[in-house]
């Protein structure tokens, strides 16, 4: 009872202080400072998914993980890529195993079972871990049953975290260099450039990073509209698992050029398409950027022998687009293919042949009639001729923005394409330290508006192992970028192309202040 007056006094003082603060910061006060713009702060968590690399016994895969050095100042954190879980075994499997034990398994069979158990146990460990920023980590595998990978980066390793898997298949029907940047999970993906033709074996890989099942739908569109399918809806992707599906089994219609649309009813997934083309080669087809009125497809190699543009208008309106090549010195329209009409819900394609004619270039698609209809697009690019052909794909991509990285580069064979579709721009390119040693190098390039600049990056001093490339826009208009990696196997220059959209390493955080007016009646 004696404390009651003191409590009342303390409460009155506290209320007066709060009321005074509210009065000083009341909405509409003449002295109220103007609202400040949202601050951009480094992200604290990043997720990446890598698809199953290859089912070939002759393939070797290198994983590369990298976070650019920055000013995050965050906690140490971690960045690890772990195996996705194997799909649930057939319900009859335990009974079969019991029966085998009753019959008496041979010592050799028991030893194989022990080895399998060891491999399964090892699969629970991270396939690759990143220790610090500014220096990539690598890991290798030659297993034909290598799993998809699920990864998370936290703390200072999260902003700009990038990973790539690069698979070399030196022989067989899937011969080629297959490269793909591991991507963040999402709910909506577009893949113009896929195929259900007999000469192609295209697999869509769906990877679920979460602890609950995801449900996905797949739509396929050919030159005449949607392709019929009775099995492409309501596809369950089990928790922390990956499901590959051959596109030609989803429909009875064979189509050379197909646009694939993947969405989720529940959950989120990663999605990539692996392509193997008879007598041509193989590579990954990554998702196109979001539908937009103007698209840029950067990094067509100077020695491309065949370039095919595949585009799709997902809305209800047709699209008429200008097709322009941003070359080494100027922008021009490919002869006879300066415009392309894309009917709504129908996949359009055009063979641009050797459009670059010995010079590097990038493609820009923009509205021809001024109004503009959002589209998606990708390029199928072939280098070489006859038995020495190799194929790769270039999807439309967003600009580099503040910063973008590509993780896997070698001492030889890396070429960087920089395209400025608007005004002239200046970019900084950093070649990181090597995974096994070396010092980073930095160089600045000016990209003239309306052109494509192809450069061979200056490798890190004393390079040992693989290195990463980071591109940062310093001034001027937007820049789109792509990296071509070429490795020679059996006399064939096998190649793969990865685009470099903004890494999303920072996020806008709005300024907040206390506002007690929300407590008013």
Q: How far apart are the first and last CA of the chain?
A: 33
- Dihedral sign of CA atoms 42, 47, 50, 51 in order: negative
pLDDT of residue 104: 43
The whole-angstrom separation of Cα 204 and Cα 191 is 10
Domain annotation covers residue 184: yes
**Domain residues for 443?**
45-86+124-290+395-506
Domain membership of residue 373 (yes or no) is no
- Residue 380 belongs to some domain of the structure: no
Task: State the Cα–Cα distance between residues 197 and 180, nearest whole angstrom.
Answer: 23
pLDDT at 49: 98
In a domain, 485, yes or no: yes
**In a 10 Å sphere around its CB, with 0-12 CB exposed, 13-18 middle and 19+ buried, how is residue 168 labelled?**
buried
Q: 383: which residues sit within 8 A by CB, 6+ positions away?
A: 301, 303, 304, 305, 389, 390, 392, 493, 495
Residue 15 covered by a domain: no
CA 211 to chain centre: 22
Which residue's entry shows tokens 């697009």?
Answer: 377
Q: In this structure, are residues 367 and 294 in contact, taking their beta carbons and an 8 Å threshold?
A: yes
Nearest alpha-carbon partner for 294 in 360, 359, 370 = 370
- Phi, psi torsion values for 289, nearest 5 degrees: -60, 170
* Distance between CA atoms of residues 453 and 450, nearest Å: 10
Which stretch of DSSP H or E encloses residue 394? strand 390-395
d(CA 357, CA 355): 6
Q: What is the pLDDT of residue 152?
A: 97
Q: Residue 347: its pLDDT value, please?
A: 98
User: In order along the chain (521 residues), what is the average pLDDT of each group of 10 residues?
Assistant: 39 38 40 61 95 88 96 79 71 35 45 42 76 97 95 96 96 87 98 97 98 98 97 96 97 97 98 96 97 98 97 96 97 94 97 93 94 94 94 98 97 97 98 97 98 97 97 97 95 96 90 62 52
Distance CA 131, CA 435 (A): 11
Displacement of CA 157 from its chain's centroid (Å): 18
CA 31/CA 252 separation, integer angstroms: 70
Residue 341 within a domain: no
Distance of CA 155 to the CA centre of its chain: 21
pLDDT at 40: 81
> CA-CA distance, 94 to 105, in Å (whole number)?
15
Q: What is the pTM of this model?
A: 0.86
Quick one: tokens of 101?
């034990």
Rounded Cα–Cα distance for residues 364 and 334 (Å): 11
Greatest pairwise CA separation for the chain in angstroms: 99
Please give the pLDDT value at position 519. Answer: 62
How is residue 401 written in tokens?
């923005």
In this structure, is residue 255 part of a structural domain? yes
**Token pair 């799993």: residue:** 147
Residues 55 and 118: beta-carbon distance below 8 Å: no
**Which residues, 6+ apart, have CB-to-CB distance to 2 below 8 Å?**
none
pLDDT reported for residue 446: 98
Count up the domains in the chain and report the number: 1
How many Å apart are CA 514 and CA 26, to the nearest integer?
10
User: What SS3 state is found at 200?
Assistant: strand
Q: Does any domain span residue 50? A: yes
C-alpha 35/C-alpha 24 separation (Å) is: 15
Beta strands in 51-199 (DSSP E): 59-66, 79-83, 128-130, 137-141, 149-154, 162-169, 176-181, 188-194
Nearest to 344 by CA among 276, 389, 400, 291: 291
């Amino acid at each position: 009872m004696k404390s009651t007056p003191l409590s009342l006094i303390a409460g009155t003082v506290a209320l007066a202080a709060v009321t005074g603060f509210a009065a000083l910061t009341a909405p509409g006060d003449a002295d109220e400072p103007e609202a400040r713009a949202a601050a951009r702060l480094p992200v604290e968590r990043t997720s990446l998914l890598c698809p199953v690399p290859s089912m070939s016994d002759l393939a070797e895969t290198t994983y590369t993980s990298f976070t650019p050095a920055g000013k995050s100042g965050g906690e140490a954190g971690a960045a690890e890529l772990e195996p996705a879980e194997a799909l649930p075994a057939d319900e009859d499997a335990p009974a079969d195993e019991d029966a085998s034990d009753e019959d008496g398994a041979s010592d050799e069979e028991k030893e194989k079972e022990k080895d399998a158990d060891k491999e399964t146990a090892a699969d629970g460990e991270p396939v690759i871990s990143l220790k610090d920023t500014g220096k990539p980590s690598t890991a290798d595998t030659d297993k034909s049953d290598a799993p998809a990978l699920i990864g998370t980066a936290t703390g200072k390793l999260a902003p700009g975290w990038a990973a790539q898997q690069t698979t070399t298949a030196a022989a067989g029907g899937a011969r080629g260099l297959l490269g793909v940047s591991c991507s963040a999970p999402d709910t909506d993906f577009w893949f113009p450039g896929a195929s259900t033709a007999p000469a192609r074996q295209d697999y869509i890989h769906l990877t679920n990073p979460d602890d609950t099942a995801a449900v996905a739908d797949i739509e396929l569109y050919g030159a005449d509209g949607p392709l019929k399918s009775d099995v492409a809806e309501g596809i369950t992707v089990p928790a922390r698992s990956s499901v590959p599906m051959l596109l030609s089994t989803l429909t009875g219609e064979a189509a050379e050029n197909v646009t694939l649309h993947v969405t989720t009813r529940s959950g989120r997934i990663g999605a990539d398409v692996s392509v193997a083309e008879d007598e041509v080669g193989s590579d990954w087809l990554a998702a196109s950027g979001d539908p937009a009125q103007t698209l840029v497809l950067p990094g067509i190699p100077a020695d491309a022998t065949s370039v095919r543009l595949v585009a799709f208008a997902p809305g209800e309106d047709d699209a008429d687009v200008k097709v322009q090549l941003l070359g080494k010195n100027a922008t021009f329209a490919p002869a006879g293919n300066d415009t392309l009409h894309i009917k709504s819900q129908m996949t359009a394609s055009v063979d641009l042949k050797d459009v670059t004619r010995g010079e590097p270039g990038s493609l820009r698609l923009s509205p021809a009639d001024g109004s503009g209809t959002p589209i998606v697009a990708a390029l199928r690019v072939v280098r070489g001729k006859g038995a020495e052909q190799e194929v790769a794909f270039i999807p439309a991509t967003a600009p580099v923005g503040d910063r973008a990285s590509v993780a896997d580069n070698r001492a030889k064979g890396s070429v960087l394409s920089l395209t400025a579709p608007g005004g002239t721009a200046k970019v900084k390119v950093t070649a990181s330290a090597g995974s096994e040693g070396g010092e980073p190098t930095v160089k600045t390039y000016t990209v003239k508006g309306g052109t494509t600049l192809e450069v061979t990056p200056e490798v890190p001093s004393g390079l040992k192992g693989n290195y990463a490339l980071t591109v940062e826009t310093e001034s001027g208009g937007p820049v789109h970028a792509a990296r071509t990696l070429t490795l020679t196997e059996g006399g064939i220059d096998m190649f793969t192309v990865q685009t470099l959209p903004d890494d999303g390493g920072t996020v806008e955080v709005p300024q907040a202040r206390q506002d007690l007016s929300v407590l008013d009646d």
